[in-house]
Amino acid sequence: MSTTLRAFSAVALVLTVIGGMSALTAPVAAAESHQVNPFLGATQYVNPLWKAEVEAEAVAQQSANPSLAAQMRVVENQPTGVWMDSMGAIAGPSGGMGLAAHLDAALTQKTSAPEVVNIVIYDLPGRDCNALASNGEIPATAAGLTKYQTSYIDPIVAILSNTKYSSLRISAVIEPDSLPNIVTNSGVAACQTAGPFYEQGIEYALNKLHAINNVYTFLDSSHAGWLGWPNNSSGAATEFAKVANATTAKFASIDGFITDTANSTPLVEPFITGTTTVNGTQAISGTFYQYNPDLDEATFTADMYTHLVAAGFPSGIGMIVDTSRNGWGGSARPTAASTSTVVDSWVNATKVDRRPHRGAWCNASGAGLGNFPQATPSGYSASHLFAFIWVKPPGESDGSSTLIVNNQGKGFDRMCDPTYAPPGAGWNGALTGALAGAPLAGQWFSAQFVQLVTNAFPKVGGNGATPTPTALPTPTSSASRTPTPSATATVRPSVTPVPSATATVRPSVTPVPSATATPRPSTSATPVPSGTGSGTAKCAATYAISSSWGNGFNANVTVNNTGTVATKTWKVTWTWGGNQAITNSWNAAVTSSGTAVTATNAAFNGVIAGGGNTSFGFGAAFSGTNTNPTLVCSAT
């Protein structure tokens, strides 16, 4: 089908659907009390614009692949989020649908059951403060904050407050990526400037939205690949509590939290846990996980829930997960753990997440639809899940794979370029894994949608429901805890193309483990072996710079048990040969006295089996020449 004919068919279907709506009479329902879980017992709003896009794709696939077309027609009836990503999106583009039009359409869809409409609040001053090319429309200034309040939040609140819509349950996802940027990107100048406006803007939005009885607020808490490290997730909970306590209703102003918004982190990694070992070495020490113990959203939501309650949120707080593209099914999905004894090889062959790096966010090659939207999915009791929902409309591009000149203000982000090799830590020369041939952000991307349906997990055409979680393997390690990097060791820039007027999308973003500017590869990353400690237990340590930039760098130290007797404790010492100073560390207690440095094991990694190893890391600043030190390791 030609592009012109396909577009005409989609528009015709939308006109037919919307025209049919006007002939219907919305059921009359009295306003209900505010629910704990708005998704329970409810249906969710299906966006007719997105449905028309999917139907047009199904028509285009019908002749060549009728089975695929049939699967698409199952998918087209799923609810997706409506993005208020600009002030113009509130009223809607000419010939399109604004917020009120979507709510009117939801009233016509509503049956005797409650109806949930998922909207995304997304236009903070200085939005995407750590982006390579932020597409926010409001500046991070005092005047910008006033504009956000009066020209963005207030008009949305005026529409949602209309008693006409009081029978709808309106689920509002609040400002993706904003507060997580405050947690991990405090060293970025733009985030230092924008941070206070993020907090004040969200406080204002929560106060206004919470006052509307049928509106439910869900604060974005990023995903496992960004805040999964314990220091990051606990730091995020503290930040969320700070913002909640600034509101009039305190913790009650937030109904829950959402994770994996517009991202593709798997719900469950079926064959790996945070304590799994490979030949005596922790699997999470590999390049892909970088000691992050939260491998998937099931683990991350459970950990985040625990931190939230510890920070003061009520135990009834709930989590929702965006499962629109985190299925990772298809023929490439592993069916068992690898037999390799090399950590990186084992991880790459065992994980269902097929991305080259957890920071790969744009039009991810190999991704599939995840669990269909569903309330209170079973099997995740520790996560306190309210629902799976589809915030990101599947099939809408995250950004163009090549530079496309346009008058929509949409820049070219090279994370969407399949030929680009990002320089950040852990990429090791890998390409982005983005699909080729992608159009501008928000435009329909046929190849992506075909892939998402083909690689859906669970497969479309069964019952479309949540699969029973696969039993995780019994860990082969006796470790009781997983290593804990500090929050400053994980920086996650958010790169967001501006969505089109009729298909608002906010793509996910890219974590880069460096504390300040974009790291460039170090020229001195060759490990430097240490001496061997004396006594019954023996150890050796190797030093490697993982990333460096300007006058700063990150380094990893691997501690190897070179004997046959398990260590109880270990210590690594060295003396700087240049002008270096450690700024932060993780997985070890690191102290300095002048140029002398001592690192001793943490409580959870002092025991190393014979032939095994553990690691710790640190960030540091330097001036002059950054020479590698000679390490001395001792153990008991």
Residue 555 buriedness (CB in 10 A; 0-12 / 13-18 / 19+): buried
pLDDT tens digits, residue range 51-95? 999 999 999 999 999 999 999 999 999 999 999 989 999 999 877
* Cβ–Cβ under 8 Å, residues 335 and 459: no
Interatomic CA distance for residues 382 and 384, integer angstroms: 6
Q: What's the start-to-end Cα distance of the chain, in Å? A: 72
Q: How far is CA 13 from CA 20, 63, 450, in A?
A: 10, 19, 20
Q: How many CB atoms lie within 10 A of CB 416?
A: 26
For residue 133, the model assigns a pLDDT of 61
Interatomic CA distance for residues 251 and 182, integer angstroms: 19
The answer, yes or no, to whether residue 532 has pLDDT greater than 90, is no
The answer, yes or no, to whether residue 233 has pLDDT greater than 70, is yes
Pairing of strands 596-601, 588-593: antiparallel
Interatomic CA distance for residues 87 and 373, integer angstroms: 28
Choose between 137 and 297: higher pLDDT.
297
The answer, yes or no, to whether residue 131 has pLDDT greater than 50, is yes
3-393+402-489 and 528-635 have identical folds: no
Residue range 502-521: mean pLDDT, rounded: 32
Residue range 280-308: mean pLDDT, rounded: 96
For residue 132, the model assigns a pLDDT of 64
**Candidate from 18-32, 141-155, 443-457 with smallest mean pLDDT:** 18-32
Residue range 302-325: mean pLDDT, rounded: 97
pLDDT band at 110 (very low <50, low <70, confident <90, very high): very high
Interatomic CA distance for residues 22 and 221, integer angstroms: 38
Q: Which helix (H) or strand (E) holds 23?
A: none
Interatomic CA distance for residues 75 and 456, integer angstroms: 10
Interior/surface letters 445-470, b for 16+ CB within 10 angstroms, e for the rest = bbbbbbbbbbbbbbbbeeebebbeee
What is the three-class DSSP state of 288? Answer: coil
For residue 428, the model assigns a pLDDT of 87
For residue 14, the model assigns a pLDDT of 53
The answer, yes or no, to whether residue 23 has pLDDT greater than 50, is no
Mean pLDDT taken over the chain: 83
The answer, yes or no, to whether residue 505 has pLDDT greater than 80, is no
The answer, yes or no, to whether residue 504 has pLDDT greater than 80, is no
Interatomic CA distance for residues 357 and 364, integer angstroms: 11
The answer, yes or no, to whether residue 513 has pLDDT greater than 60, is no
pLDDT band at 134 (very low <50, low <70, confident <90, very high): low
The answer, yes or no, to whether residue 474 has pLDDT greater than 60, is no
Residue range 16-25: mean pLDDT, rounded: 43
Q: Which fold has domain 3-393+402-489?
A: TIM Barrel (3.20.20)
What are the residue ranges of helices labelled H in 186-248?
189-210, 224-227, 230-246
Q: Cis omega before residue 293 (within 30°)?
A: no
- Which amino acid does the sequence have at 373? P
Contacts of 383 (CB under 8 A, 6+ apart): 298, 301, 302, 305, 319
For residue 469, the model assigns a pLDDT of 34
pLDDT tens digits, residue range 398-419? 889 999 998 776 778 888 999 9
The answer, yes or no, to whether residue 565 has pLDDT greater than 90, is no
pLDDT tens digits, residue range 600-612? 987 667 788 777 7
The answer, yes or no, to whether residue 517 has pLDDT greater than 60, is no
For residue 518, the model assigns a pLDDT of 29
- What residue ranges do the domains of the chain occupy? 3-393+402-489, 528-635
Interatomic CA distance for residues 613 and 480, integer angstroms: 15
**CA geometry: angle at 600 spanning 598 and 606, to 5°?**
160
Q: What is the CA radius of gyration of the chain?
A: 25
pLDDT tens digits, residue range 33-44? 999 999 999 999
For residue 520, the model assigns a pLDDT of 28
Residue range 243-264: mean pLDDT, rounded: 97
The answer, yes or no, to whether residue 377 has pLDDT greater than 90, is yes
pLDDT band at 462 (very low <50, low <70, confident <90, very high): low
Interatomic CA distance for residues 185 and 564, integer angstroms: 42
> CATH top-level class for 528-635?
mainly beta
* Cβ–Cβ under 8 Å, residues 50 and 80: yes
Q: How far is CA 585 from CA 85, 172, 273, in A?
A: 38, 37, 24
- Give catalytic residue positions: 177, 398
The answer, yes or no, to whether residue 536 has pLDDT greater than 90, is no
Interatomic CA distance for residues 470 and 370, integer angstroms: 15
* Cβ–Cβ under 8 Å, residues 476 and 281: no
**Candidate from 3-17, 153-167, 357-371, 499-513 with smallest mean pLDDT:** 499-513
The answer, yes or no, to whether residue 556 has pLDDT greater than 90, is no
Residue the block writes with tokens 């589809």: 390
Residue range 367-387: mean pLDDT, rounded: 97
Q: Which two tokens stand for residue 461?
A: 């055409």
For residue 548, the model assigns a pLDDT of 66
pLDDT tens digits, residue range 173-219? 999 999 999 999 888 899 999 999 999 999 999 999 999 999 999 99
For residue 533, the model assigns a pLDDT of 43
For residue 618, the model assigns a pLDDT of 83
Choose between 418 and 507: higher pLDDT.
418
The answer, yes or no, to whether residue 369 has pLDDT greater than 80, is yes
pLDDT band at 564 (very low <50, low <70, confident <90, very high): confident
Establish how many alpha carbons lie within 13 A of residue 283's alpha carbon, considering only the half-sphere containing its beta carbon: 28
* Cβ–Cβ under 8 Å, residues 442 and 396: yes
pLDDT band at 30 (very low <50, low <70, confident <90, very high): low
- Which amino acid does the sequence have at 99? L
Size of the chain, expressed as the number of residues it contains = 636
* Cβ–Cβ under 8 Å, residues 300 and 308: no
